[in-house]
């Protein structure tokens, strides 16, 4: 029976007849679904948010890494559709889970989305279906958490009647060179049949696959990638703070170190680490490490440094205002950028938001300009809607301090330099070694990270 179901699915994939279901049409799921559909694979997107599913159904794009024309094309050709009806999972030959994996208020993995997805799949699973998890999570999730739920709900047996795999997303929002189709993909199937199916399916949409021996190896690979970045960014942030006290330009130091042709990779300082993966992954790892009575000392330290960065940036803002003989209480502070990195609209875990919250709590009037985020709703207290202000001479002159929190290329930093009273540059928008736009500084003072 095993060989029959497995071979039948492999043949269906080879013929291009296997329907792929993608659970969650966000930053990960929508680009993946569109990529499969572009490759001619019948694709069905599942989304709890009815308005989002409706937008996809109309060909309306809301994810920066998806080309508007690509979405319209696959929808118009009916290669792809979106639905809120999870009973339609029964139509799918392969199901890929791309749901959020946030942390709860105690910094522990919130598995509610994965649990709900696994339950929906189990209740609507037909024999001979392949299932892959792409959501970032802790090692052993696929085998120890998802597997029991699906087996219980479906009354089917993994490895015989359905197959499981972990293949983490590697989305880098805004990256112009590496998208879903050409970013190498690590694939860890649970058993030889699962691996064969995973390789056959993903090869339809992804140009390079790297197989590993198990789901937990693939899960640990994802955690390693992001924890590696956390540790190195936290280290460079701490060195940047020290260099500031010693009147050493950390950016010049990094550029000099980069000249070494081996043994060094450049990481750059900033006001904190944003995005979904890097700030959260160490807590996933810490969660599972405790089950093995293991203390992640270095990673805990790196996380501690990252958590302190926004508060340290508030101190920098307060100090800069003090030099202008002003208190933070009662001052107007203009923030340039609320996205977590340049030239995207993604605000997940953005350090700018934490800095703005603390500055406002100290009595300042907080305003922001971000060409990629016209408005957003705060999630603290009762919440409120903030709207991006136009970046004009009057806006800049009206601020007691301007803080560069995201270095969007479309921002007119020369205008800011010309009219700002005080600038706190947390992203090296004003390089000390560059005469432009820094040479246009008239009456403003500038503080660097």
User: All domains of the chain, ordered by start, with CATH?
Assistant: 2-213 (3.40.50.720), 309-448 (3.40.50.720)
Q: What is the pLDDT of residue 380?
A: 55
Determine phi and psi for 404, rounding to 5 degrees. -85, 105
Measured between its terminal Cα atoms, the distance across the chain in Å is: 63
In 10 A of CB 384, how many CB atoms? 10
The residue annotated as part of the active site, out of 6, 92, 243, 277, is 277
Cβ contacts of 2 within 8 Å, gap of 6 or more = 159, 160, 193
Q: What is the pLDDT of residue 2?
A: 53
Q: What is the pLDDT of residue 382?
A: 60
For the chain, list residues with pLDDT below 50.
1, 381, 438-440, 442-443
In 10 A of CB 365, how many CB atoms? 14
Pairing of β 422-425 and β 445-448: parallel
Of 15, 9, 8, 22, the residue nearest 40 (C-alpha): 15
Is 92 in the active site? no
Q: What is the pLDDT of residue 3?
A: 61
CA distances (Å), 88 to each of 34, 117, 120, 361, 411, in order? 19, 13, 10, 48, 46
429, 403 Cβ separation under 8 angstroms = no
Strand order in the sheet with 162-166: 80-83, 43-46, 20-23, 94-97, 129-133, 162-166, 185-189, 209-212
Torsion angle in degrees (nearest 10) through CA of 62, 67, 68, 73: -120
Per-residue pLDDT of 331-353, as tens digits, reads: 999 999 999 999 999 999 999 99
Q: How far apart are CA 234 and CA 269, in angstroms?
A: 8
Per-residue pLDDT of 32-85, as tens digits, reads: 999 999 999 999 999 999 999 999 999 999 998 999 999 999 999 999 999 999
> What is the number of alpha carbons within 13 Å of residue 114 lying toward its C-beta?
24
313, 355 Cβ separation under 8 angstroms = yes
Q: What value, to the nearest 5°, has the Cα angle with vertex 141 and ends 192 and 103?
A: 150
Q: How far apart are CA 326 and CA 319, in angstroms?
A: 9
Q: What is the pLDDT of residue 439?
A: 47
Q: What is the pLDDT of residue 213?
A: 97
Q: How far apart are CA 91 and CA 106, in angstroms?
A: 38
């Amino acid at each position: 029976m095993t060989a029959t179901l497995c071979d039948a699915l492999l043949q269906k994939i080879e013929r291009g007849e296997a329907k792929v279901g993608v659970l969650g049409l966000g930053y990960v799921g929508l680009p993946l679904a569109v990529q499969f559909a572009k490759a001619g694979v019948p694709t069905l997107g599942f989304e709890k948010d009815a308005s989002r599913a409706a937008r996809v159904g109309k060909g309306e794009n809301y994810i920066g890494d998806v080309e508007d024309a690509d979405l319209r094309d696959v929808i118009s050709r009916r290669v792809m559709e979106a639905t809120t009806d999870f009973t339609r999972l029964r139509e799918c030959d392969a199901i890929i889970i791309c749901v959020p994996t946030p942390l709860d208020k105690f910094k522990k993995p919130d598995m509610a989305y994965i649990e709900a997805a696994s339950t929906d799949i189990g209740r609507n699973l037909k024999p001979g279906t392949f299932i892959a998890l792409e959501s970032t999570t802790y090692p052993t999730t696929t085998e120890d958490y998802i597997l029991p739920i699906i087996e219980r709900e479906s009354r089917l047996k993994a490895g015989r009647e359905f197959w499981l795999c972990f293949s983490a997303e590697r989305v880098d929002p805004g990256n112009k060179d590496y998208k879903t189709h050409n970013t190498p993909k690590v694939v860890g199937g649970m058993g030889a049949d699962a691996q064969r199916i995973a390789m056959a399916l993903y090869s339809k949409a992804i140009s390079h696959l790297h197989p590993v021996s198990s789901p937990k190896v693939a899960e640990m690979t994802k955690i390693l990638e992001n924890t590696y970045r956390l540790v190195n960014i936290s280290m460079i942030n701490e060195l940047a703070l020290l260099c500031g006290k010693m009147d050493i330009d950390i950016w010049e130091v990094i550029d000099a170190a980069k000249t070494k042709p081996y043994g060094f990779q450049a990481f750059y300082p900033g006001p904190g680490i944003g995005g979904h993966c890097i700030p959260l992954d160490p807590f996933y790892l810490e969660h599972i490490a405790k089950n093995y009575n293991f203390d992640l000392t270095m990673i805990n330290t790196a996380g501690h440094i990252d958590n302190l960065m926004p508060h340290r940036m508030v101190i920098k803002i307060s100090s800069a205002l003090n030099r202008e003989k002003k208190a933070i209480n009662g001052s107007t502070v203009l923030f340039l950028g609320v996205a977590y990195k340049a030239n995207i609209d993604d605000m997940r875990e953005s350090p700018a938001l934490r800095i703005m919250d603390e500055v406002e709590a100290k009595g300042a009037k907080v305003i922001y300009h971000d060409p990629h985020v016209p408005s957003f709703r705060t999630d603290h207290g009762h919440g409120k809607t903030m709207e991006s202000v136009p970046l004009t001479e009057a806006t800049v002159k009206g601020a007691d301090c301007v803080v560069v929190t995201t270095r969007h290329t479309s921002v007119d930093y020369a205008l800011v330099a010309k009219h700002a009273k005080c600038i706190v540059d947390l992203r090296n928008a004003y390089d000390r070694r560059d005469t432009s736009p820094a040479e246009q500084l008239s009456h403003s003072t500038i503080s660097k990270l």
